[in-house]
Amino acid sequence: FFVEDSSDQQSVVAEAGRLKEALGRKATVWIPLKHKVSGEVKKNIEALKIEGIGFEHEERRYYPEASAAAQILGFVGKNEEGEDQGYFGLEGYYDLVLSGKPGFLSREKDATGLPIILGSEREISAIEGVELVTNIDKRVQLTLEKKLLEGMEKYGASSASAIVMEPSTGSILAMSSFPSYDPAKYSQFGDSYFKNPVVSDSFEPGSVFKVIVMASALDQGVVEPDTKCDICQGPLKVDKYFIETWNKEYRPDSTMVDVIVYSDNVGMAYVAQRLGADSLYDYLDKFGIGKLTGIDLQGEASSALRQKGSWNIVDLATAGFGQGVAVTPIQLITAVSAIANDGILVKPQVVGSLKGPGWEEDIRPEAGHRVISKEASDEMTAMMVEAAKGGEAKWTHLRGFKVAGKTGTAQIPIAGHYDAEKTIASFVGFAPADEPKFVMLVTMKEPQSSPWASETAAPLWYSIAKDLFPYFGIQPEN
């Protein structure tokens, strides 16, 4: 046939080359020529009665909630062979089990097209793909997305993310981040939208990290809740640097409870020094910092911890308040969930069961491993309860509800220094503190209304929690 437009001609030639290459592969049984043809085109081709050309009904992904949970789900697109393939999120991680395997039938025919009775015949049955049943709670997910988007716009953040997790099982009940995309229209978005920052983007966590360091020190026995900090009367000189509190206020003889409540950087440097670099490294490793959590989502990444034995005195001191250490949001909430779960860390899990024709298999949560003692987790929880009630974000606290929580305002490192005006604000907490139904982490990047988590991430956390409490059956204590 004749093609007038040169660009169309190049396209046709390229397509012909692709088909020729595909047909030349030894393992090729059939190749798709065109997807989503109209009924009229199908009728016209069938009228030609071309041997070897047939039609196949295709299933299409349908997203009834539009962009809801997009970065958890991922999407189905076409690979280089023109076949459906899952990308990102659950679609990418479980692509092989979702798609199954096609069947195969090889049979000898005579010149008239009829099967030869004694001819060779080989058949391999198709393996049907399985269905995934997730742990995502639709109501919690939609609540989280609505509130998170409202909060991002209210506080002028460039991006925001949140996770809700069940600490005893590791079940991910909800996960969201913005900006997001519509998986049904994925071709209209750039690659940066598809990546899930909750599992792939690392950041220096700042003060929320203090609960992990303090919990480690409590477990090691180098401090107790009433241990007094004997260097908290002013700035602390470490090598050629001075460590200061965030508000330049100092409390001599602060207890460890005070250090957490008032988020004292000097006090946390004291805790880190008492613990020592090697011990702190070992605890961070047990908490999963610097390692993949193993969550069942495609694209999980992790920054490595600085090698054991290479930490200097500045590295040790600043790690005490969450600088110089990078985590992903999923690593952070998994570590804090260990504190909420009596000291036992459990792997996060999105899918709860697999289903096939006539069968269903639950994915049981892994047993987990002990990171700190129950006594240390109880002491750390009590400190976090005091921080939620008496810290800088106390004005956001919901009266009557026992929440264990901690704010974090992390300066973003830029060109070798920290910018005080560019921050990542976060709040992590669990409720009820004594028998947690959920752990939730909220993070916001570069909020414009205020750089402080106590004025951005914390009120957003409580705004979400206010809707979740009645759903989880959490009642006020008085």
Please tell me whether residues 11 and 155 are part of one structural domain: no
The string of pLDDT tens digits covering residues 325-380 is: 999 999 999 999 999 999 999 999 999 998 887 888 888 888 899 999 999 999 99
Percent share of the chain, pLDDT over 90: 62
Please tell me whether residues 378 and 230 are part of one structural domain: yes
Cβ 331 vs Cβ 289: under 8 Å: yes
Bridge partners of 360, per DSSP, are 355
Percent share of the chain, pLDDT over 70: 86
Q: What is the pTM of this model?
A: 0.84
Please tell me whether residues 138 and 226 are part of one structural domain: yes
Of the ranges 21-30, 32-41, 385-394, 409-418, the best mean pLDDT one:
385-394
Bridge partners of 163, per DSSP, are 175, 441
- For residue 263, the model assigns a pLDDT of 96
pLDDT category at 2 given cuts 50, 70, 90 is: very low
Please tell me whether residues 45 and 139 are part of one structural domain: no
CATH code, domain carrying 455: 3.40.710.10
pLDDT category at 26 given cuts 50, 70, 90 is: low
Please tell me whether residues 138 and 52 are part of one structural domain: no
- Does any domain span residue 350? yes
Please tell me whether residues 37 and 184 are part of one structural domain: no
- Does any domain span residue 456? yes
- Does any domain span residue 323? yes
- For residue 467, the model assigns a pLDDT of 97
- For residue 59, the model assigns a pLDDT of 65
**Average of per-residue pLDDT across 165-185:** 93
- For residue 4, the model assigns a pLDDT of 46
For residues 247 and 202, give the distance between their C-alpha atoms in angstroms, rounded to a whole number: 26
The string of pLDDT tens digits covering residues 87-127 is: 889 999 999 888 766 555 566 666 666 666 666 666 665 56
- For residue 66, the model assigns a pLDDT of 72
Domain tally, the chain: 2
Tell me which of 55-64, 143-152, 176-185, 204-213 is least confident.
Answer: 55-64
- Does any domain span residue 75? no
Residue where a domain terminates, one of 21, 41, 58: 58
Residue where a domain terminates, one of 33, 58, 83: 58
Of the ranges 143-152, 183-192, 299-308, the best mean pLDDT one:
143-152
**Average of per-residue pLDDT across 220-229:** 98
- For residue 9, the model assigns a pLDDT of 53
Please tell me whether residues 168 and 39 are part of one structural domain: no
Please say if the pLDDT value at position 5 is more than 50: no
**Is pLDDT larger for residue 328 or for residue 420?**
328
Please tell me whether residues 140 and 272 are part of one structural domain: yes
- Does any domain span residue 109? no
Residue 93, amino acid: Y
Please tell me whether residues 163 and 53 are part of one structural domain: no
Please say if the pLDDT value at position 52 is more than 80: no
The string of pLDDT tens digits covering residues 267-282 is: 999 999 999 999 999 9
Domain extent for 22: 1-58
- For residue 3, the model assigns a pLDDT of 41
- For residue 365, the model assigns a pLDDT of 82
Of the candidates 132, 145, 187, 149, the one whose C-alpha atom is nearest the C-alpha of residue 349 is: 132
- For residue 193, the model assigns a pLDDT of 85
Residue where a domain terminates, one of 16, 35, 58: 58
Tell me which of 75-79, 158-162, 250-254, 433-437 is least confident.
Answer: 75-79
Please tell me whether residues 39 and 148 are part of one structural domain: no
Write the CA distances from 367 to 33, 108, 371, integer angstroms.
Answer: 49, 54, 13
- For residue 296, the model assigns a pLDDT of 95
Rounded to the nearest integer, the mean pLDDT of the chain is 88
- For residue 126, the model assigns a pLDDT of 56
- For residue 420, the model assigns a pLDDT of 72
- Does any domain span residue 365? yes
Please tell me whether residues 332 and 220 are part of one structural domain: yes
Please tell me whether residues 340 and 427 are part of one structural domain: yes
Residue 322, amino acid: G
The string of pLDDT tens digits covering residues 290-319 is: 999 999 999 999 999 999 989 999 999 999
pLDDT category at 135 given cuts 50, 70, 90 is: very high
- Does any domain span residue 363? yes
Three-state SS string across the chain, please? CCCCCHHHHHHHHHHHHHHHHHHCCCCCCCCCCCCCCCHHHHHHHHHHCCCCCCCCCCCCCCCCCCCCCHHHHCEEEECCCCCEEEECHHHHHCHHHHHCECCEEEECECCCCCECCCCCEEEECCECCCEEEECCCHHHHHHHHHHHHHHHHHHCCCEEEEEEECCCCCEEEEEEEECCCCHHHHHHCCHHHHCCHHHHCCECCHHHHHHHHHHHHHHHCCCCCCCECCCCCCCEEECCEEECCCCCCCCCCCEHHHHHHCCCHHHHHHHHHHHCHHHHHHHHHHCCCCCCCCCCCECCCCCCCCCCCCCCHHHHHHHCCCCCCCECHHHHHHHHHHHHCCCEECCCECEEEEEECCEEEECCCCCCEECCCHHHHHHHHHHHHHHHHHCCCHHHCCCCCCCEEEEEEEEEEECCEEEEEEEEEEEEEEECCCCCCEEEEEEEECCCCCCCHHHCHHHHHHHHHHHHHHHCCCCCCC
- For residue 120, the model assigns a pLDDT of 66
pLDDT category at 79 given cuts 50, 70, 90 is: confident
- Does any domain span residue 115? no
